[in-house]
Structure 1
Amino acid sequence: MKSNASVMLALQRSVGNGATRRAVSQSLTVQRDRAELDAAYRDEVSAGEWGKAAVRLNGFNDTDINARVKDLGYDQRTLLLAACPDWNHRVRRPALDMNYKEDVAAGRLEQAAGLLNGFDEPDMISRFGSLPVEKHLALLIACPASAKRVLEIGLRLQPKQKTRVWPVADFIAIWEKLHGRTMTPDEKNDLSRGCIGITSLNLADGAPDPPLGLSFDSFEHARAVSRALNDILATAPTVTKYGEAVGLHPLLSQLTGVVSALPSSNPAEWRAVVFSKRFYANQNPDWNKRKKADTRSFKPNPDTGQVDMSGYKYRGRPDPSEGPGAEMVNFDYGWYDEATNTWWHANHSEPGMKVYQSTLKHYSQPLLNFDRQVFTVALARK
Structure 2
Amino acid sequence: MNKFKAFVKANKRTFIVLILAVISLFSYNVTKNGIGSEVFGWLRLWKYLSLLFILTCFYLLFLKGKRVILANLTLIALLLFLLETILFFVLGMPSAFKKDFSIPDLPENHIARQVGATYYPDSVYHEVKVNGTDTVFDVHFAIDHMNKRITPDFDSTKTKYNLFFGCSIGFGYGLEDNQTLAYHVQEQSPDANSYNFCISATGTNHMLAQFQYRDLSKQVAEKDGCGYYIFFWDHIYRAIGTMHRYTEWLHLAPYYEMNDGKLVRNKLFKDGRPFVSGWYERLYQTNIVKYFEADLPLKLNDSHFDLVTEMVLESKKAYTKQFGNDKFYLVFYPNYIAYTPEEMRIFKSYLTKKRIKFIDLSNTIKYYGKYTLDGDSHPNSETNKLMAKYLLQKTMLKEKKN
Question: TM-score normalised to the size of structure 2?
Answer: 0.26
- Considering Cα pairs closer than 8 Å and 6+ residues apart, tell me whether 1 or 2 has the greater RCO: 1
TM normalised by structure 1 equals 0.27
